[in-house]
Each structure stands twice: as structure tokens, then as C-alpha cells.
Chain A
Amino acid sequence: MVSAKTKVINPQGMHMRPAQVFVGEMGKFKCDVTLLCNGKTINAKSIMNLMAACIKQGCEIEIQCSGEQENEALARAVELVDSGLGDL
């Protein structure tokens, strides 16, 4: 398992569109992707769970990837969040 911490910077947070961008990209990797935020553990391949977690701008998150391609998945995940998920 590999993990990294970062911060959600896009204004909308994990609303429909940013969440869709994130989930869509993570679905391309075989490993499990999990987000830790506000004490919650969220399956980051599930748009429903990601949206229901209400992750907002400024939230500190930890991304964990575990399984095949975990390093590539983590790098891509951090890159997406740091670039604002198409919402900047």
C-alpha cells in the first residue's frame, strides 16, 4: 500500500463534476483507491460515496492505493486533485 496527503483546492470540492473526473480516472487502475478525510474512509472508485462524503475546498485528504499499479494510480490521483479536477 502506498499513500500521500494533499489538499482539495478546487472551489466546488467533490461535487458531481469534479467527483466524476476523479472516479473516471481511478476506474482505469486495478488497485483499490481509498480516501481518508474528516475521519471518514471513502471508496474513491464510487461516485456516490465520494459525493456523500461532502469533501470541500480546503479539506486535507489522504489518498491510499493498494494493489496492482498502486504507484501509478497514486501519482495520477495526487496530480488530479492538485490540478483542481477540471474545476479551476
Chain B
Amino acid sequence: MTMLSSAPSSSAPPAGFSDPVQQSQASFRALLDAMARPGRIASIAGDIGRPDGVTQALAAAALTLCDLDTPVWLGPGFDTPALKNWLRFHTGAPVVAQAGAAQFALLNAGQPLPNLENFAQGSDEAPEKGATLLIQVATLQGKTAMQWRGPGIKDGVAMPPCGLPMAFWQQRAALSAAFPRGLDLYLCCSTDLIGLPRSTAITFATEA
């Protein structure tokens, strides 16, 4: 028996959803709810096999949203063979080298984040072409730093920086001017996630 080149010994990726049908539907529901109610935390339950360093919420979002038709870009810290293998095995999504070509991007807030302008913002005719960023953050808590307002939020919601630098939030706030172009974000921490659609306007505490 010759060594099979298509199956190197270490290539078997982690398992992904243990119950793909139920879990992907539950995750999709959670992702929808999170995006419809910006700032409200949605939780992902269940058992999800994933590479080291990837949290449950980010793994669930990636497995649920990505497929053959959605190019994915992996940010610093996530651009590893293990994560690439795992994502490709379970979703079939092509991993692209150019951030601007991606529909989804997996970012790790523990690493330097790329400029938000690098990602596809869509156009006025086709705003849906704007990318969705899945950002893994260390916390969703903290001292209030800003107000979110917009569809899905009654009055306004006071938000912490969620472990992201203020420079990032300034960049995100600046994107609001280009609406309906823009980026949709999911902030993922452990089993929790928060949605931040492009329709949400951000004002900072000092300006209020």
C-alpha cells in the first residue's frame, strides 16, 4: 500500500456541528435576531468542533453563513492552515487573499485589525454586496463608551467598546455616512454574539 497523498496523517479537521441541521438552524436564528436587535446579546448553545483559538460563537457563525458562493478572508491570527482546512472542509467556502474580494471576513481582535475601508462596501445599486465581518473579541462588557441608535433599537443603547480599540469604532462610525453602502458586523465572544448592522449610527459619549 502506498502512502495516499490526498490524506496526510494530520489533515483530519475538527468536527464542526455535531447535529448540522438543528444547530445550523438555531445558529441562523440567533444570527438573525442579533442583527435585528443591535446590541442585544444572542447565545449559541451546543457542541461545535472547531480549531484551537476559535470561540464557539465565531465558529457557529462561520459554519452557518459561509458556503461555496461566499469568498472568505481570514485576518491576522486566523490565517492558519488548521482554520483554513476546517472552514473549507465544512463549508466549501473559497478562502481569498484579497480582503476586498470577500463576502465574509473572520477577524481576531487580539491581533492588529485591518482598516475597515479595505473591505467591500457594496454599491448604492447593490448594497448587499457589502461584506459581513465576524470579529472575535475578548469581552462584550466594559464601561459605556458610546450610544447606538437606529432600526431595531428603541431610543438608544449604551454600549461598551467590547474589547475593540476606539480607533476601530471611529472608523465604523465614519462608515455611516456612506449608507446604504457599508459593513455588517458580528462581535463574537465565547458563546455570545452581538450584531451591528450598517444601519446603526454610533455616537460617542463625549459628543453626547
- Bind each other: no
Binding site for A on B (CB under 8 A): none
Binding site for B on A (CB under 8 A): none
